[in-house]
Structure 1
Amino acid sequence: MSKVIKIKRGLNIPLKGSAEKVLVRLDKAEYYGVKPIDFPGLVPKLDVKVGDRVKAGSPLFHDKYNPEIVFTSPINGEVVEVRRGERRTILEVVVKTENGETEYEEFGAASPDSLSRDDVVEKLLKSGLWPYIKQRPYGIVANPNDNPKAIFISCFDTSPLAPDLDFAVQGEEEAFQVGIDALRKLTTGAIHLGLNADYPPANAFLKAKGVEHHYFTGPHPAGNVGIQIHHIDPIAKGEVVWTINPLDVIIIGRLFLKGIYDATKVIALAGSEVIKPRYYKLISGANIDSVVKDNINTDTDVRIISGNVLTGTRVDKNGFVGFYDNMISVIPEGNKYEFMGWIAPGVNKHSASRTFLSKLIPGKKFRLNTNMHGGHRAYVLTGQYEKVLPMDIYPVHLIKAILANDIDKMEQLGIYEVVEEDMALCEYVCASKTEVQAILRNGINTMIKELS
């Protein structure tokens, strides 16, 4: 084993409802959706209209400013709805599944080793798999014209109720390796795999060729790729690195093995309000109801989240699994007043500090709801941000620089290194109830606009 990087700052949130390692294979859902809002900075232009028939891999929309980046359907069927929001913003493109075998667009199977970089890029762009690759800084879809100094893949997830990626990739060793071979064509630098040092990694990760392994141990956010980049090879101004999720590497591998866009992956359904938390094998973009049906506590109001409770997106049963999401979380809504509020001893409340008696009960799991326990207020300098962000930056100063729209200060304070998931814990522990993630994204958007 190579040197273990120990992450000391951070916080694990011990929620009830971790997914049991039981894999359920779902039939095709009736509806699938692709959501432009999953891609920060994207201005979508439709390639289809309601009533059009598509195959798995057929274009649905593309980026207005980078037309070569297309977003394709994960399933065959009929486009039945284009859901819009304010100012006719496209929120979702919905496809109704056809019965029978899935029909795929053919992109041609090929070994990445026999292709040039341009050939690999073209195949990823045409098939709609390119958006799986994100860039740092900014956490947006990568620019295919860039030459990143490295590609980083975090092979474990430390977020609350996170799926076990070692379990999720079982049986996909070949596809993962082929995906790695394709990614190696895209950079002259190294491909870094971040592994959990606390238990043996899956063979797909451990035996992957053409990569560098790095081991991490410590609390969340040790599994965040941004934290791993910071400790392995930090991003300087003018540098670009690419990141990708290991389950998406497998989808890329299938493209080169089969010549089709097979968006099948394993996700976790977890949370205290799930009757039987477990893993599901499904096609990306599936309707939420097809996953949670008859498996949620109906005795209380619940919030369904595509993703984890810190960074995920609130959805209803008619919504869809997010493009990058590997889990669905279900927790109680916090829409009821609590007797005595914060004055109560708090045996069943989690605390990042020693505010509640629950700190005296080690190993306790919590049924937490969405109640913020207070409203927005002026910044209180508690030093909590620094305790949960294992980076050599000043998070409070960075947020203030964004609020002041000070471009130079944002650069100096490390905005190139962080995206929302890296500072999600800062928002969780914030005594001022400041929407840290939204402010950070506004700052990133400002940087993109000013420096483009």
Structure 2
Amino acid sequence: MSKDIKIKKGLNINLVGAAEHTTSKAVLSNIYAYNLEDFHGITPKMMLKEGEEIKAGEPLFYNKSNEAMKFVSPVSGELVEIFRGARRRILTLKILADKEQEFLVNKKVDLEKADGEELRELLLESGCWPFIKQRPYDRVANPDVVPKSIFISGVATAPLAADVEYVLSGKENELQAAITALSKMTPGKVHISVKDKANSVFSNVEGAVLHKVSGPHPAGLVGTQINKIDPINKGETVWTVAPQDLIIIGEFLLTGKFNAERTIALAGSAVKTPKYYTTKIGTEISTFLYASGVNLKKFRLINGDVLTGSRVKPDGYLGFYNSTVTAIPEGDDYEFFGWNKPVFNKISPTRALTFSWMQPNKKYDLDTNTNGEHRAFVVTGQYEKVFPLDIYPLQLLKACMVKDIDEMEQLGLYEVAPEDFSLTEFICISKQPHQQIIREGLDLLYEEIG
């Protein structure tokens, strides 16, 4: 039975520079790269050496703690660099792509006859498994643990995020194949959230429960939907999959090929013509950034959305899980008496000398200025106004900072991921790194209990 979700607590951050609903094909990149930081908690063991040839979909490395979990190349070509850091830890893998792409073709599977165990082994071998993440701990799912349910968010409420319905249009067959496979790997249900009062590409999907979601950000975050539909208790596991990753999984199940193609939204006020580009995971961002043009000399490029993404240079590479690249002005200047004058051009959840609450639909051209310095936590009660989960955000953050495991468990750390605290970090007058604090807390909990 579906359960509609209406979120009242939250904050929509309306920014200038949303991607227009037009799609172009990005220039083919010479080099494709994987940043191993995208696979949090994974210790890679290489299956190839520098200089060796590889096909698209052929394994590059496997997970040291689970050798069945393979990570495959997005393109065919030559592995030209294995960049290592301290203690020879692998940080980046770079592949020089062939002009003509060659795919590793795996066996096709009969989705109607295949059982969950067979599909699990196939996804692990094919390189599709890393698209499945788990709560708790927000990392690549442990294939040895059966989830009580699986969640997919078909709603994007983050600032300038890619329109889910637009990028999935015409991919109904791939979506159905992926959802059919996922439904066989859980005794529970596959939950899909869609926009309220709108037709969706998921409307006719079989094997899943649809939930209509309405309200401000973070209504579109999968953590919010889990909290409202099927909360996680200690000892339970839930899997999550991003909408575009379903396409890659579904296409693999239908064709036997790992196609790392992705439609990304290039957005932000620093971009001349924000739009969508069809490209591949790991591509050089410059291959589509300069095609749209940049209208500022000083701008910050973000691999992801402005709340949860990471800083990257134009010659950097598209992240494994990212479907948005954002460019906004660099905020390296200071306002004279900025703390003591009325503010009309910024977003704020308070009404103290700010007026954004009077124009909820106004779009803002914000830069990266934090408008303050790092300082001790100040109890203001503002976090609770934008945090819709049934969790005390300030208390949980403090429990993580002091590494109180009992408090972290009791306050609901099993249920959250760093992205769930992106909005509280945005409005934090103390400029505390909420997402980093939660990540460190999750890692500690995993080391001690997981």
| Aligned residue in 1 for 2:235 | 238
Q: Distance in 1 between matches of 2:416 and 2:377?
A: 21
| Aligned residue in 2 for 1:74 | 74
| Aligned residue in 2 for 1:60 | 60
1:105 counterpart = 2:104 = yes
> Over the residues paired in the alignment, what is the CA RMSD in angstroms?
1.5
Q: Distance in 2 between matches of 1:85 and 1:298?
A: 35
Q: Distance in 2 between matches of 1:370 and 1:384?
A: 21
The one of 414, 417, 422 equivalent to 2:415 is: 417
Deviation at 1:85? 3.5
| Aligned residue in 1 for 2:365 | 367
1:442 counterpart = 2:440 = yes
| 3-state secondary structure, aligned to 2:276 | strand
Identity across matched positions, percent: 45
Q: Distance in 1 between matches of 2:294 and 2:26?
A: 20
Q: Distance in 2 between matches of 1:161 and 1:147?
A: 34
Q: Is the 8 A contact 2:271 2:295 kept in 1?
A: no
Deviation at 1:2? 5.1
Alignment of 1:150-169 (within 5 A): 150-169=149-168
Cα offsets for 1:78-97 (capped at 9, x unmatched): 11122333443322111111
Deviation at 1:371? 1.1
| Aligned residue in 1 for 2:21 | 21
CA pair 3-446 structure 1, distance change in 2 beyond 3 A:
closer
Q: Distance in 1 between matches of 2:397 and 2:4?
A: 31
Q: Distance in 2 between matches of 1:49 and 1:356?
A: 57
| Aligned residue in 1 for 2:51 | 51
Q: What code does the residue aligned with 1:66 have?
A: N
1:395 counterpart = 2:386 = no
Q: Is the 8 A contact 2:34 2:282 kept in 1?
A: yes
| 3-state secondary structure, aligned to 1:439 | helix
The one of 212, 216, 219 equivalent to 1:219 is: 216
Deviation at 1:294? 4.1
Deviation at 1:199? 2.5
| Aligned residue in 1 for 2:115 | 116
Cα offsets for 1:108-164 (capped at 9, x unmatched): 122222212222111111111100000111111011111111111101111000111
Cα offsets for 1:40-98 (capped at 9, x unmatched): 11122222222111111111222221222121101001111223334433221111111
Q: Is the 8 A contact 1:75 1:97 kept in 2?
A: yes
1:6 counterpart = 2:3 = no
Q: Distance in 2 between matches of 1:373 and 1:93?
A: 37
Q: Distance in 2 between matches of 1:233 and 1:360?
A: 35
Q: What code does the residue aligned with 1:105 have?
A: L
The one of 406, 409, 424 equivalent to 1:408 is: 406
| Aligned residue in 2 for 1:33 | 33
Q: What code does the residue aligned with 1:267 have?
A: I
Q: Name the stretch that deviates more: 63-72 or 223-232.
A: 63-72
Gaps of 5+ in 1: none
Q: What code does the residue aligned with 1:390 have?
A: P
Q: Distance in 2 between matches of 1:284 and 1:193?
A: 24
| Aligned residue in 1 for 2:171 | 172
1:293 counterpart = 2:290 = yes
Gaps of 5+ in 2: none
1:315 counterpart = 2:345 = no
Alignment of 1:244-255 (within 5 A): 244-255=241-252
Q: Is the 8 A contact 1:135 1:243 kept in 2?
A: yes
Deviation at 1:265? 1.8
Q: Is the 8 A contact 2:2 2:209 kept in 1?
A: no
Q: Is the 8 A contact 2:266 2:325 kept in 1?
A: yes
Q: Is the 8 A contact 2:27 2:288 kept in 1?
A: no
Deviation at 1:3? 4.8
Q: Name the stretch that deviates more: 390-399 or 330-339.
A: 330-339
| Aligned residue in 2 for 1:143 | 142
| Aligned residue in 2 for 1:129 | 128
Cα offsets for 1:148-198 (capped at 9, x unmatched): 111111011110001111010111110110111111121111111111104
Alignment of 1:289-368 (within 5 A): 289-354=286-351, 355-368=353-366
Q: What code does the residue aligned with 2:34 have?
A: V
Q: Distance in 1 between matches of 2:73 and 2:112?
A: 27
Q: TM-score, normalised by structure 1?
A: 0.96
Q: Is the 8 A contact 1:191 1:212 kept in 2?
A: yes
Q: Name the stretch that deviates more: 409-418 or 33-42.
A: 33-42
**Count of equivalent residues:** 449
Q: What code does the residue aligned with 2:127 have?
A: G
Deviation at 1:323? 0.8
Deviation at 1:107? 1.0
Q: Is the 8 A contact 2:51 2:78 kept in 1?
A: yes
